[in-house]
């Protein structure tokens, strides 16, 4: 009997494109779909399997496209539907897949539904598509509850009638221009399925689901005293309870109670479980898969973590994704869903990737581990064990459009810290050290079994823009926190294509890039790296070629004898390849008989030793 084919997404390397910052075809300083189409051969040469497009839909761009006004059209900033179809066709022609971002938790306040809702009566069908509530206190002057926006400030905004009379309040977990949809409304559910079908019919291969855990809110919208952050988990205010019952009593541990001794800090408690060890995992037998399905069947019934806000990770979201799974199953080509879900504990996350729901969920725990062998070890163990428990592939990611680039985080005094942006008044990373560690971490990531994600510019070793002045920043998180959070603009700066060109290949003498680039980007430009031995781009290309040739994404995993995280040494085997990374402070010798396949520094093969902040793939003949 012929072996069943492995779905493409189980071991795919997926390249995230932030459309406004990838490539500018028309010289207006803003990236566009035609620019992406022109660079698809560049990505084919790099060796990725798929691209993921951040939002390109019609939007007023208050949150860089994550405030969608029309889910079925392309914003003129980026082109037209014909441009999208051409991009899709070109990508498929070169043997790669296309994933698009879907933003189902909220719309733009310019969406026709919300415009109609504001003009309608409080009890109207138009308002029932969103979460409108009467206020508390005299004349409804106080918000319906105390929820805080992820971007800072109140999560409720009060409406004003045509005659200036204050009205109801509407919920927005993010910016006030991003009203939350009411997912208890069947009309909302049907509309988003229609949106899925619109893009599936055009030929897209999958969807990245934004805020996948946020669609359903707890009954009664109970008070919640903490602020939740992007990627980094929850921030409980000192002495405050998490979730309050109607009588005011806390749900979960009492106010002021300490977490369990082995609990991680909130910024680490994102996706995966703590403790335990993971056997090597990649392809599973049919019997193993059946066991995983049986084990996964009860995961949605696990108790909600006491630090879970009442607006995240409610059980009702799973029925939504079961329906979406059925929709995708009607199409050929192994279409897929990947969840952006900041969920804890691990059992709650696993429910999102059960066999009848999504195919992948982002592994933010690995991203948050930082440059630390023990934390990285724990994350790898936990992630592989978690993936095996539901028969899903693990995913690996170091950077994305919501985080400080890892090459800059690794250059900070504490390379495990997770700042919410870096500004000119903050500690400036050691660029050379961060660059070296970033290359080494890439080799650690790309040899792991499962699927890997690369954020645009990462293959160039691109650092964060850490000196952006306040007057050019555009992230709503910067403004809603009064600058306390520097925001995400620094990782979204247009990537450099030509070192000597205006804007490094962006804009024209009449149009500057939409965000300014630092002068130092010249040395990272694509035209200074293509075909240059030892460049970051060529390191990525070599590693991706070996990963594909040796099928590491479908491979196995075991820690090698050299693995000693307490000493800063991380080493594992995947099939015939052994990875050795030096996260310590002293050079280490390569194993006897080692033959270097690819190294983060060219000196390794000649010296026979591995310097600090470097890594190598090798064969040892064992």
Cα gap 236→274, rounded to integer Å: 20
Cα gap 349→180, rounded to integer Å: 22
Contacts by 243-252, CB closer than 8 A, 24 or more apart:
243/218, 243/306, 243/308, 243/309, 243/310, 246/220, 246/222, 251/306, 252/305, 252/306, 252/307
Place of tokens 């189409």: 37
Cα gap 362→208, rounded to integer Å: 10
Q: Which among 565, 581, 564, 586 is positioned nearest to 617, based on CA atoms?
A: 581
Cis peptide before 432 (omega within 30 of 0): no
Assigned token pair, 502:
């205006």
Assigned token pair, 78:
């980026």
Q: Give the up-direction half-sphere exposure of residue 121: CA atoms within 13 A in the CB hemisphere.
A: 3
Mark whether 210 is an active-site residue.
yes
Contacts by 263-268, CB closer than 8 A, 24 or more apart:
266/232, 266/233, 266/234, 266/235, 266/236, 266/307, 267/229, 267/232, 267/233, 267/368, 267/418, 268/233, 268/365, 268/368, 268/375
Taking CA atoms, 587 is separated from 412, 563, 565, in Å, by: 21, 15, 15
Catalytic residue among 205, 210, 357, 485: 210
Mark whether 340 is an active-site residue.
yes
Cα gap 231→221, rounded to integer Å: 23
* Sign of the dihedral through C-alpha 195, 199, 205, 211: negative
Task: Work out the angle between the directed axes of helices 33-46 and 81-93 (0-180°, nearest 10).
Answer: 10
- Strands (DSSP E) along 340-387, which ranges? 360-361
| Residue 546 Cα to chain centre, angstroms | 25
DSSP 428-467: PP-HHHHHHHHHHHHHHHHTSSSEEEEETTGGGTPPP---
Strands 50-53 vs 97-102: parallel, antiparallel or unpaired:
parallel
* Sign of the dihedral through C-alpha 601, 605, 607, 611: positive
617 in helix, strand or coil?
Answer: strand
Q: Which among 354, 454, 356, 338 is positioned nearest to 101, based on CA atoms?
A: 338
Cα gap 273→384, rounded to integer Å: 10
- For the chain, what is the largest distance between any 2 Cα atoms, rounded to a whole number of angstroms? 82
Catalytic residue among 67, 75, 340, 357: 340
> Which residues have CB under 8 Å from 371's CB, separation 6+?
409, 410, 415, 416, 437, 441, 583
Give the number of other Cβ atoms within 10 Å of residue 94's Cβ.
12
Name the residues annotated as catalytic: 210, 340
């Amino acid at each position: 009997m012929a072996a069943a084919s492995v779905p493409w997404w189980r071991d795919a390397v997926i390249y995230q494109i932030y459309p406004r910052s990838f490539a500018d075809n028309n010289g207006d300083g803003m990236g566009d779909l035609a620019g992406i189409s022109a660079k698809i051969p560049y990505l084919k040469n790099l060796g990725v399997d798929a691209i993921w497009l951040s939002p390109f839909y019609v939007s007023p761009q208050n949150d860089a496209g994550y405030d969608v006004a029309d889910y079925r059209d392309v914003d003129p900033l980026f082109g037209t539907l014909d441009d999208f179809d051409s991009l899709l066709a070109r990508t498929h022609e070169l043997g790669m897949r296309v994933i698009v971002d879907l933003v189902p938790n909220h719309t733009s306040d310019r969406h026709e539904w919300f415009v109609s809702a504001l003009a309608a009566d409080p009890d109207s069908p138009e308002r029932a598509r969103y979460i409108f509530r009467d206020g508390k206190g005299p004349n409804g002057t106080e918000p319906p509850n105390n929820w805080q926006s992820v971007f800072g400030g109140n999560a409720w905004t009060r409406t004003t009638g045509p005659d200036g009379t204050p009205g109801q309040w509407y919920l927005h977990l993010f910016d006030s221009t991003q009203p939350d949809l009411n997912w208890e409304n069947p009309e909302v559910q049907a509309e988003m399925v229609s949106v899925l079908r619109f893009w599936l019919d055009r030929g897209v291969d999958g969807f990245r689901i934004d805020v996948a855990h946020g669609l359903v809110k707890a009954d009664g919208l109970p008070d919640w005293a903490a602020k939740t952050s992007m990627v980094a988990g929850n921030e409980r205010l000192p002495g405050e309870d998490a979730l309050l019952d109607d009588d005011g009593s806390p749900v979960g541990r009492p106010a002021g109670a300490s977490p369990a001794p082995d609990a991680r800090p909130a910024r680490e408690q994102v996706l995966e479980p703590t403790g335990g060890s993971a056997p090597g995992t990649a392809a599973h037998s049919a019997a193993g898969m059946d066991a995983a399905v049986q084990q996964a069947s009860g995961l949605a019934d696990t108790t909600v973590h006491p630090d879970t806000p009442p607006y995240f990770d409610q059980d009702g979201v799973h029925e939504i994704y079961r329906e979406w799974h059925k929709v995708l199953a009607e199409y050929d080509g192994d279409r897929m869903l990947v969840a952006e879900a900041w969920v804890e504990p691990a059992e709650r996350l696993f429910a999102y990737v059960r066999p009848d729901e999504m195919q992948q969920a982002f592994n933010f725990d690995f991203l948050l581990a930082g440059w630390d062998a023990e934390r990285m070890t724990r994350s790898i163990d936990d992630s592989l064990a978690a993936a095996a428990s539901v028969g899903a592939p693990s995913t690996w990611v170091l950077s994305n459009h919501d985080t400080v680039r890892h090459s800059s985080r690794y250059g900070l005094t504490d390379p495990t810290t997770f700042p919410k942006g870096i500004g000119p008044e903050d500690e400036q990373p050691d660029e050379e050290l961060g660059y070296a560690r970033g290359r080494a971490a890439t080799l650690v990531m790309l040899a792991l079994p499962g699927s890997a994600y690369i954020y645009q510019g990462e293959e160039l070793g691109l650092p964060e823009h850490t000196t952006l002045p306040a007057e050019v920043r555009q992230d709503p998180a910067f403004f809603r926190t009064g600058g306390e959070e520097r925001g995400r603009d620094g990782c979204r700066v247009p990537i450099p294509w030509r070192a000597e060109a205006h804007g490094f290949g962006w804009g024209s003498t009449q149009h500057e890039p939409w965000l300014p680039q630092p002068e130092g980007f010249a040395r990272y430009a694509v035209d200074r790296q293509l075909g240059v031995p030892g460049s970051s781009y060529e390191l990525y290309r070599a590693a991706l070629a070996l990963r594909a040739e040796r099928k590491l994404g479908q491979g196995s995993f075991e820690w090698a004898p050299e693995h000693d995280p307490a000493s800063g040494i991380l080493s594992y085997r995947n099939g015939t390849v052994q990875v050795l990374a030096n996260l310590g402070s002293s050079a280490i010798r390569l194993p006897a008989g080692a033959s270097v396949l690819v190294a983060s520094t060219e000196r390794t093969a000649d010296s026979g030793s591995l310097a600090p902040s470097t890594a190598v793939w090798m064969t040892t003949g064992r």
